[in-house]
Structure 1
Amino acid sequence: MSIIVKLEEKKDFSATERKIADYILDNKEEILHLTIRELAQATYTGTSTVMRLIKKVYDGSFSDFKVDLAFEFHNLQREDQYEQFQIQKQETAFSIINKIAHIQKTAIDYTKSLQDYQQIERVTKLINNATIIYVFTDGINHQIGCEFKYMMARIGKKVEVAKDDFWVALNCLKSGEQPLAIYINHREHNLALLEKIKRNHKVGIKSIAITGYINSTFETCCQEIISIPTGMSYSDLAPVTYTTAIHYILNIIVGCVIATNYSASGQKLNAYTDLSSQ
């Protein structure tokens, strides 16, 4: 029987031991960093009482108890995530509506936590300085690149979704061009994209990567690497996670470009709106 189950069942626990067990279960992250004395202080008990409880659920030292408890918490979290990110048999429209909302909110919250505000400012500067932006994508990310091109066009920024990377490299050798490449990647072994990155780096194209996977090619060839979650590979809904994360990052970039070029972006947007209404 697992440690967690024993703590939840509280078999033959005294009232004080029940309080300690509840504290451990309610403070999963904190408990892993506490000493036995600190746990006793947090629960207003004594070290001997804490150790007596540990002996009822675990055969070993307090340090080993925390290691094995952490392992159980980790596995339990993976099981919970599997339930949350997988379509279950005979799910209703109501449950799927809530599940998708939960996945997208989780993806955005996690993506936000990965971001460095100073990095986003540096990325915005790179984009503002570029005369043309080439977006390199594959698969499902191609459509996201097209949507980014449309959003940037509305504020007067030239973006192309690259199809022929060799032509891009040649075109960027023209005098006066200040190209920027954005690589969107959610696959761990995207060898074709890595080759494009290397080729563009050789001709001096500055680059930004939006990716969940970091390797030497990204680190060597890209000025900035923006991290995103890639989605759980075993989940039916993994694409929801990484496409939500990519959209969120690109929307942030668009927003920052508008903010740093407010007057010019507003004029371009008004002109675009007038043209669209004709």
Structure 2
Amino acid sequence: MLILEALKQQTDFTTTEKRIADYILANLPTLANSYIKELAAATYTSHSAIIRLAQKLGYHGFRDFQHTLTVAATAQAQALTAVDANFPFQVDDTAATIAKKLAAVTVTAIQTAHAQLDTAQLTATAKLLAHADRIFLFSHGDSQLRARSFQNKLVKINKFAIIAEEYSDDAWNAANLSPNDCAIFISYTGTTTTHQQFATYFQAHQIPTVLLTGNAQSPLIPLTTQQLISVQRETDFAKVGTFASQAAFEYLLDTLFSLLYVQDYRHNLSNLQQNQDLMQHGPLQTK
């Protein structure tokens, strides 16, 4: 739903573009079947004004602009009927009710993340990681658990990632990165001061970086090479847990791992079979 955030913020919009944006936000469910001439007539503007707005937001023309709006409208409708991600259960809920609500939070978080996916950014990110000699994962708290999960999966394709902030070695690890490596910042708020410090250094030294965040206005965005952004209906502090954001991050990292796997699918599959044989029937058998 990043497109909706851009339409709400209206940064650098002209008066005409603000009128178009306001109309779109007020009539989002009807836009899927609207023609550009109908939108122009309803906003008292022109075809060219609408196309200029679409291009200002990063779209080639009205068709892909309209498609993204339709996806965002669907995600928004789902979110309005979804369980509150911050407090998904109440004191008198039964076990069955809590289980159902938590399932709904997870499903909605993944659907929302999918609706916001920029496949071009996703593909470019996978290529960065595929060519990196080393991958350094910068993350704190719950997000570091997602980093460890990603680290564990990468071992299966013979790539080894480093948890950069383990044992407070973040500055040492940052100093050792080279342009042949890649740093991944995983932060829902995307405002960690040390991450900004490191990202600034990496950018100055042409070291590739990736950002996973839930903050479309994160100060890390202009400092990083690629960004995967998943805005969830989750607050920073007033919540039971980080259910939605972490489900979204796990989904994005699993998708990245899958893209890395298919880049050399046959080799990875052959390697999997050989290693499993070593561990189950060969000299590496431990059970």
Q: TM-score range by the shorter chain?
A: 0.5 to 0.7
Q: CA deviation at 1:220?
A: 2.6
Which one-letter code corresponds to 2:242 in the other structure? P
Whether the 8 Å CA contact 1:181–1:208 is kept in 2: the answer is yes
Counterpart CA distance in 2 for 1:244 and 1:189 is 20
Measured in 1, the distance between the counterparts of 2:183 and 2:243 equals 25
Match of 1:225 among 227, 230, 235: 227
> Counterpart in 1 of 2:253?
250
1:134–1:84 Cα change, 3 Å? closer
Shift of 1:194: 1.7
Task: Output the CA distance in 1 between the equivalents of 2:228 and 2:85.
Answer: 28
CA contact (8 A) 2:213 2:230 kept: yes
Cα offset for 1:170? 3.1
Structure 2 gaps, min length 5: 1-26, 39-75
The 3 A distance-change label for structure 1 pair 201 and 92 is: same
TM, length-normalised to structure 2? 0.64
Query: Alpha carbons of 1:188 and 1:226: their partners in 2 closer, same or farther (altered >3 Å)?
Result: closer
Q: Indicate if the aligned counterparts of 1:197 and 1:217 stay in contact, CA closer than 8 A.
A: no
Shift in Å, 1:29: 3.5
Task: State the distance in 2 between where 1:188 and 1:124 align.
Answer: 21
Q: Which amino acid aligns with 2:122?
A: I
The correspondence for 1:263, drawn from 266, 278, 283, is 266
Matched, 1:121 2:139: no
Classify 1:161/1:276 alpha carbon distance in 2 versus 1 (closer, same or farther; 3 Å). farther
Once the two structures are TM-superposed, the CA of residue 191 in structure 1 deviates from its matched residue by 1.8
* Counterpart-to-counterpart distance in 2, 1:210 and 1:250: 9
For residues 225 and 275 of structure 2, the distance between their equivalents in structure 1, rounded to whole angstroms, comes to 32
Residues 197/272 of structure 1: CA separation in 2 closer, same or farther (3 Å cut): farther
> Who is 2:107 aligned against?
105
SS at match of 2:184: strand
Residues 84, 123 of structure 1: alpha-carbon distance in 2 compared, 3 angstrom cutoff: closer
Separation of aligned partners in 2, 1:147 and 1:216 = 24
Identity, % of aligned positions: 21
Please state how far the C-alpha of 1:143 moved relative to its aligned partner: 1.3
Task: Mark the CA change 1:196 to 1:276 in structure 2 (over 3 Å): closer, same or farther.
Answer: farther
Q: Aligned match of 2:163 in 161, 164, 177? A: 161
Match of 2:30 in 1: 30
- 1:172 lines up with 2:174 in the alignment: no
| Cα distance, 1:263–1:236 mapped onto 2, change above 3 Å | same
SS in 2 for 1:193: helix
Matches within 5 A, 1:148-227: 148-163=150-165, 164-173=169-178, 178-187=180-189, 189-215=191-217, 217-227=219-229
C-alpha change, 1:112 and 1:183, in structure 2 (3 Å) is same
Assess if the C-alpha contact under 8 Å between 1:85 and 1:103 holds in 2: no
**Alpha-carbon contact 2:109-2:232 (below 8 Å) kept:** no
Q: Spell out structure 1 runs of 4+ moving beyond 6 A.
A: 77-80
1:223–1:29: structure 2 CA closer, same or farther, 3 Å change rule? same
Change (3 A) 1:91 1:160: same
SS in 1 for 2:212: strand
CA contact (8 A) 1:165 1:196 kept: no
Cα distance in 2 for partners of 1:258, 1:108 equals: 21
Larger radius of gyration: 1
RMSD: 3.0
SS of the residue corresponding to residue 210 of structure 1 reads strand
CA distance in 2, matches of 1:260, 1:28: 38
Structure 1 residues 59-82: Cα deviation after superposition (integer angstroms, max 9, x where no partner): xxxxxxxxxxxxxxx9xx869754
Contact 1:130 1:178 in 2 (8 A): yes
Q: Secondary structure at the match of 2:93?
A: coil
1:213, distance to aligned residue in structure 2 (A):
1.3
